Amino acid sequence: MKNRADRILGQAYSIENVIVYERIGDGNVSMKRGRDYWWHDIIKGHSRHCETEVLDANDLLFILYTSGTTGKPKGVMHAHGGYAVGTAATLKFIFDLKDDDIWWCSADIGWITGHSYIVYGPLILGVTQIMYEGAPLYPEPDRWWSIVEKYGVTVFYTAPTAIRMFMRLGEKWPAKHDLSSLRLLGTVGEPINPEAWVWYYKYIGGERCPIMDTWWQTETGMQMISPLPITPLKPGSATKPFPGIDADVYDAEGRSLAKKNIGGYLVIKKPWPAMLRGLWEAEEKYIETYWSMFKDTYFTGDAARIDEDGYFWIQGRLDDVLKVSGHRIGNSEVESALVSHPAVSEAAVVGKPHEIKGEAIVAFIVLRSGYEASEELKHKLRKHVESEIGKIARPDEIYFVADLPKTRSGKIMRRVCRAILLGMDPGDVSTLANPDAVEIIREAVK
């Protein structure tokens, strides 16, 4: 990791000092005199205790960079007071945490879910929690379930991407362990397709644990749309806004589409405690991105619909929309249809220019264990999408791949797949959790 950091530090001229923590006892690390310092040297002679620094509620707490679908980093700023209130309140009420609960959020601390629901929220509430930094499949694909059993985890929060990965490996792995300590489950990071929801409910929750399907963003800081443990659930729906959150779906003119079951722009109409306070050194970008679409209304950049019962269905990013022969089709809609087929574990759907249709639909697919790639399976998958959505949504091309490029948060990076498909530079891929997947996609489209 130090070697990686050194390569970047050569371009990051504003960084004056680097502190290195000796974690595994390997002192054979390149250190630059006058810039790099060992942590154990710095703390010599200092007390283990320090006074708490008193700060104003509106003082800057942290800056967390998020790329979105454009790949251009945005430094989201969060302040002390409101962020603390928002994360603690949502964790307490959405997951109904009690004194004897064992909480486990499987996220990476480096992204917003880890900030909000591993570091700040749980520590504010004094929650007993599991923190795990290893790989989910090492040394065996039951690693997570062995941790749940060993430590008696009662409330578990993870990403749909991880759930689909475990679906691909089969239910034999969770079946090896006693998961009866679990009483509540949660998902975060992207919309969960109904098939993954049902698998999670059945094989991890034993058909007894409600699933808190939470929608929120780096920018919101806290969970915004989610069930409570008493909410009647619909697989695939984030259900309703958290108490105090005024969310809606607008059409392009700013008219509400509530309970019309029509896709539109997901917006937040009133302030909330943990809302972002700006973008670091980019005030105009902040206003343009979040506040220019609708007057005095926060624009999330996501598409959603509200059904007849007032339940929200998140459809994905608005810029992830395919335009095929005049029809607007959500990438996530086609992906969800593909993943609903028993052979498919994960799918990434992108568009490429087509002289007649405008865009052609291209799917990159990871198969579940026990299925083999074939032309016959491609035909079956096209027919399956046709039956699920319609002929207009059938993929023109299908590539079977071993893996898809993902961020550390588990989000599939469609823009990387599309760039490679079009023979373009995929841009900065240093933040990918699995950079090898770039070559996998490149080989597939040769």
Instruction: Give the model's pLDDT for residue 71.
Output: 47
Strands (E), 142-198: 155-158, 184-187
Within 10 angstroms of residue 428's Cβ, the number of other Cβ atoms is 12
- Non-local (6+) Cβ contacts of 191 within 8 A are 160, 215, 236, 238, 313, 314, 315, 316, 332, 336
Domains of the chain, with CATH numbers? Answer: 2-42 (no CATH), 60-316 (3.40.50.12780), 320-444 (3.30.300.30)
Mean residue pLDDT across the chain: 91
Instruction: Give the model's pLDDT for residue 10.
Output: 82
Q: Cα separation of 208 and 180, whole Å?
A: 9
Q: Cα separation of 187 and 238, whole Å?
A: 10
Instruction: Give the model's pLDDT for residue 326.
Output: 55
Q: Which residues pair with 302 in a beta bridge?
A: 317
Summarised one tens digit per residue, pLDDT across range 82-101 is 999 999 999 999 999 999 99
Confidence of residue 70 (pLDDT cuts 50, 70, 90): very low
Looking at the chain, the whole-number percentage of residues with pLDDT higher than 90 is: 69
pTM: 0.77
Whether 416 has a pLDDT exceeding 60, the answer reads yes
User: Would you give the end-to-end CA distance of the chain in angstroms?
Assistant: 32
Whether 59 has a pLDDT exceeding 50, the answer reads yes
What type of residue is 20? V
Identity of the highest mean pLDDT range in 59-73, 189-203, 351-365: 189-203
Summarised one tens digit per residue, pLDDT across range 135-144 is 899 999 999 9
Q: Cα separation of 374 and 289, whole Å?
A: 43
Instruction: Give the model's pLDDT for residue 371.
Output: 94
Summarised one tens digit per residue, pLDDT across range 351-399 is 988 877 778 999 999 999 899 999 999 999 999 998 888 888 899 999 9
